[in-house]
Amino acid sequence: MNTLMNTGMTTQAGLEATSIPALRPPIPAPLAGAITHLCSLQQTDGGWEGEMVWNTMILSQYILVQKACGRAIPKAAADQMVKHYRKTRTSDGAWGMHGESLGYVYFTTLAYVALRVLGVSPQDPLCVESRQWLRKQPEGVLGIPHWGKFWLAMCGLYGWEGVNPFPPELFVTPKWLPIHPFRFYNHTRYIYLGIAYLYGKRFQIDLGELTESLRRELFDRPFAQIDFHSYRHTVAKSDLYVAPSVVLKAGYELLHQYEKRPLRALREHALGFCLDRILYEMKASRYQGLSPVNGLLNCLALYAHNPRHPELAKSLEGMEAWKWEDEAEGIRYCGARSNTWDTAFAALALSELPLEMRPQVASSLRQAYQHLCDLQMQDELPDAGAESSLEQREPILGGWCFSDGVHRWPVSDCTAEAVCALLTLHGEQSPVPLSDRMSVERLCHAARFILRRQNADGGFGSYEARRAGSVLENVNPSEMYGSCMTERSYLECTSSCLRGLVALRNHLGAQLGGPLLIQVNTAIAAAVTRLRDSQRADGAFPGFWGVNFTYGTFHVIEALHEAGIPVHDPVVQRAAVWLIRKQRPDGGWGEHFSSCLSGEYVPHEQSQVVSTSWALLTLLIALPASHPAIERGVSFLSAAQLADGSFPQQAQAGVFFGTAMLDYRLYKSYFPLWALARYVRLRNPQREEVGHARCAALPGG
């Protein structure tokens, strides 16, 4: 095959041969600054955590739940919440899915209602401009998606006849049904568990006199004259991502007929079943919920069952775990906490430093190591993994959560990245004494946890292995999100799990025990095959949890490299060719979030430090560090660095379910450091000779 040489010449078919002079930047100062900045962000418990920014939906729902449960929000807190709404609205007065999004009817309507509940006047510009925006939309508030119709109906602001049913009886149907809710992706099924209970109860939030005012403000006609039933399938174009399928609409029609005369005994049984599952979830998650989205619904369910329910106060207090507050952006509620994720990547970035630089970060790494040890799940949930369990929970022993682990919902890739960070710190010039290292038994628990998340195709799910086929996507009721109905084989999760299993095998070997070692080797081989087979014709790998091909390609090539795939392998070199094609004139890389929506690469109008870091980390595997594309990328990073060693806040880099873009605030702190550290480590003369020899050995080299 044609190759990329360290001269900067590219001869891959369709790519013009170019020769760009290398620019070797003065690296020590940028790297030192990045180290100082990242270490300054380490928390007293030894971990790192940055905010994972999404949108105002959870804040709006939090405000409505507090109102429903009769809990007044103090004025000082309310003012900070209003500040956040002011900071996050679009230029035309709406609120969107994320920081770069245009307005959505769903988020804008919920924000409007929440602001009015907080006491903001309808004459306040916040309300005036958002109301004007809503009125300009073709269907106005009537076009709000399913979740919005449901929330408005609970508030008395939408007719229940306009809400497509999701009755609790669905949860007591036979479990062998291919569309049983227990087959859903866990976030989806737990959200709909709460929705099903509240829908079955037709729960109402009492907004008092505000109800009539909001009905006049939100709609362009008298509320009593609106035929809500005729808008059941109407979704604003601004909000629609997955249109309701013919199959889903047919299912809705059947359920509508049932809702005219539901079986009372079955309804009561189903409500009781759902309530028991809700109670289990809140207790198992230590009253935080899997996320605040389902946690807030669960709080309403408990209140709907009994306003004095003994678990209600604990559940309401548990929602405060999702709170973020600062003077700049006010009070908001995030969709997830990222302690393990950020700490593992920060530790891996610092571990990439050349040996001579590691003593200066030894203390930080020791603290991070201990913090990660503390976050592992060391106790099992009752009945986890049992076929007879009504909860259908997978075992959690040995896993790590995305967060600090309090809610006990561990994830495959977070576990694998934590394992990689820990075992990397067992390596050369380790800062961790032997007496403080994690036991082999606990590492074996981690291996078993990861293995249980592998699918039949060799890929890995996130919280669980896949429970159903893609047929479930045909009954996706969310309308705003895609690929959210079932677990799948995510390339990033597969890559992380592959790296974690390789690290466990390499460090423990026979200590894993014969049967477990065989399982690990089998899983590794299947994962490698799955990743290799997933490369697109252009050389890229699609992501699912990040933006998008740059992110997916970084994860896959990193994993294949650690699994022993040589750098001259066609898969690796095709990925390198693809990345060089995407390099911008300023030396950086930048991918726009819309590539997640279109499924095709879309360049951002500006180079992004995070995208550039992912590209450099990948190319530093595939090519010698002296390659002009690499040196130009490093120059871009060095020039982008701010005076305090940090990097600028730029575009969204994370995503879930296709449309929900996320701003991982610490990505810009550890990924650039990681890339600079790898460059410096590989740029020394001895390693450079290896790189030249490696490249020269390739066909045509």
SS3 of residue 29 by DSSP? helix
- Assigned token pair, 327: 């003077």
**Nearest to residue 189, comparing CAs of 297, 310, 66, 340?**
297
State the residue for tokens 């009781």. 272
Burial class for 100, CB neighbours closer than 10 Å (0-12, 13-18, 19+): middle
Cα R_g (the chain), whole angstroms? 26
User: What are the distances in angstroms from CA 184 to CA 451, 524, 620?
Assistant: 20, 27, 39
Instruction: Say if residues 87 and 53 touch (Cβ distance below 8 Å).
Output: no
CA geometry: angle at 173 spanning 169 and 176, to 5°? Answer: 155
Please tell me the distance from the alpha carbon of residue 588 to that of residue 458, in angstroms, as a whole number: 34
User: What are the distances in angstroms from CA 365 to CA 189, 627, 667, 698?
Assistant: 38, 31, 18, 37
User: What are the distances in angstroms from CA 557 to CA 62, 148, 198, 422, 554?
Assistant: 41, 41, 46, 21, 6
State the residue for tokens 């001269």. 7
Beta bridge partners of 454: 460
To the query of whether residue 413 is one of the catalytic residues in this protein, the response is: yes
**Nearest to residue 626, comparing CAs of 3, 2, 4?**
4
Catalytic-role residue among 239, 342, 404, 413: 413
CA geometry: angle at 283 spanning 279 and 284, to 5°? Answer: 110
Beta bridge partners of 96: 103
CA quadruple 661, 163, 158, 205: dihedral, nearest 10: -80
Please tell me the distance from the alpha carbon of residue 391 to that of residue 387, in angstroms, as a whole number: 10
Please tell me the distance from the alpha carbon of residue 612 to that of residue 628, in angstroms, as a whole number: 14
Active-site residues, by number, are 413
